[in-house]
């Protein structure tokens, strides 16, 4: 009888391991219609005219964003437990950077690409591809009343320009380092581009995005 229950327990464990979700897709090619932005995402314009299109590049579908003195984003709501799926994985490519862009000064706060993660307590982590701030730079970047934004420079400059780059970040750990407490649920994600402060041009591409339970 003990062996029978042990066998049942093993079968249940294996079934749970195979069926338990280990990834939460946020931007996935499975939901993309040709030439149309995925329906879960909304365009948000801060300044100027948005230039957003669905593309195909090497060989997966992607989102292309181009800013000519503009600031705009794509965003969607989510409900993700960052302790169950703490790793945010995405691919991006930058083909044009705002030359004078540097998030450390308000007058030059332009980036070719940003991935912003919004939490239930109105705190935000933003992973940016900056033109001049060194990779690995982190600091507060709040500019919206009642919202605390903390920036992490994930990529910098032109070293990886015109190449698809894979990123993986432990958002739960990054949140705790930034704000000194455990992360609440993730409630939104935003892909952003801006070049209005420096009056320049920026262009970037985003591939699939997902929260995962493991880094690989």
Give me the tens of pLDDT residue by residue for the chain, a chain 216 residues long: 444 333 333 333 333 333 344 888 888 766 666 667 788 899 999 999 999 988 887 667 889 999 999 999 999 999 999 999 999 999 999 999 999 999 999 999 999 999 999 999 999 999 999 999 999 999 988 766 677 999 999 999 999 999 999 999 999 999 999 999 999 999 999 999 999 999 999 999 999 999 999 988
Is residue 17 included in any domain, yes or no? no
With beta carbons less than 8 A apart as the criterion, state whether 134 and 153 touch.
yes
With beta carbons less than 8 A apart as the criterion, state whether 37 and 8 touch.
no
Is residue 9 included in any domain, yes or no? no
pTM of the model: 0.86
For residue 39, the model assigns a pLDDT of 81
Of 196, 199, 171, the closest CA to residue 185 belongs to 171
For residue 38, the model assigns a pLDDT of 80
Is residue 121 included in any domain, yes or no? yes
Is residue 42 included in any domain, yes or no? yes
Q: The domain containing residue 70 runs over which residues?
A: 22-212
For residue 9, the model assigns a pLDDT of 34
Cα–Cα dist 149/60, whole Å: 31
Cα–Cα dist 102/137, whole Å: 11
Is residue 7 included in any domain, yes or no? no
For residue 12, the model assigns a pLDDT of 32
Cα–Cα dist 37/114, whole Å: 18
What is the 3 state secondary structure string of the chain? CHHHHHHHHHHHHHHHHHHCCCEEEEECHHHCCCCCCCCCCEEEEEECCCCEEEEEECCEEEEEEEEECCEEEEEEEEEECCCCCCEEEEEEEEEECCCCCCCCCHHHCCEEEEEEEEECCCEEEEEEEECCCCCCCEEECCCECCEEEEEEEEEECCCCCCCCEEEEEEHHHHHHHHHCCCCCCEEEEEEEEECCCCCCEEEEEEEEEEEECCCC
For residue 18, the model assigns a pLDDT of 34
Cα–Cα dist 158/136, whole Å: 15
- Report the CATH number at residue 65: 2.60.120.260
Is residue 14 included in any domain, yes or no? no
Is residue 99 included in any domain, yes or no? yes
Domain count, the chain: 1
Is residue 143 included in any domain, yes or no? yes
Angle 187-172-29 from CA coordinates, rounded to 5°? 55
The position carrying tokens 């703490």 is: 86
């Amino acid at each position: 009888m003990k062996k029978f229950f042990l066998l049942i327990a093993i079968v249940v464990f294996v079934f749970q391991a195979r069926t338990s979700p280990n990834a939460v897709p946020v931007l996935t090619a499975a939901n993309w219609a040709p030439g149309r932005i995925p329906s879960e995402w909304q365009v948000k314009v801060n300044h100027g005219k948005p230039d957003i299109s669905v593309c195909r590049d090497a060989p997966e579908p992607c989102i292309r964003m181009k800013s000519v003195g503009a600031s705009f984003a794509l965003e969607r709501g989510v409900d993700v437990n960052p302790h169950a799926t703490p790793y945010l994985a995405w691919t991006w490519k930058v083909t044009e950077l705002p030359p004078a862009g540097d998030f450390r000064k308000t007058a030059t706060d332009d980036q070719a690409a940003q991935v912003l993660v919004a939490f239930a307590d109105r705190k935000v982590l933003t992973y940016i591809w900056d033109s001049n701030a060194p990779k690995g730079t982190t600091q507060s970047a709040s500019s919206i009343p009642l919202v605390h934004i903390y920036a992490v420079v994930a990529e910098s400059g032109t070293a990886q320009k015109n190449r698809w780059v894979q990123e993986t970040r432990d958002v739960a750990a990054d949140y705790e380092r930034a704000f000194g407490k455990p992360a609440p649920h993730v409630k939104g994600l935003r892909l952003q581009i801006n070049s209005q402060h420096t009056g320049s041009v920026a262009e970037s591409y985003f591939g699939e995005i997902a929260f995962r339970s493991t880094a690989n």
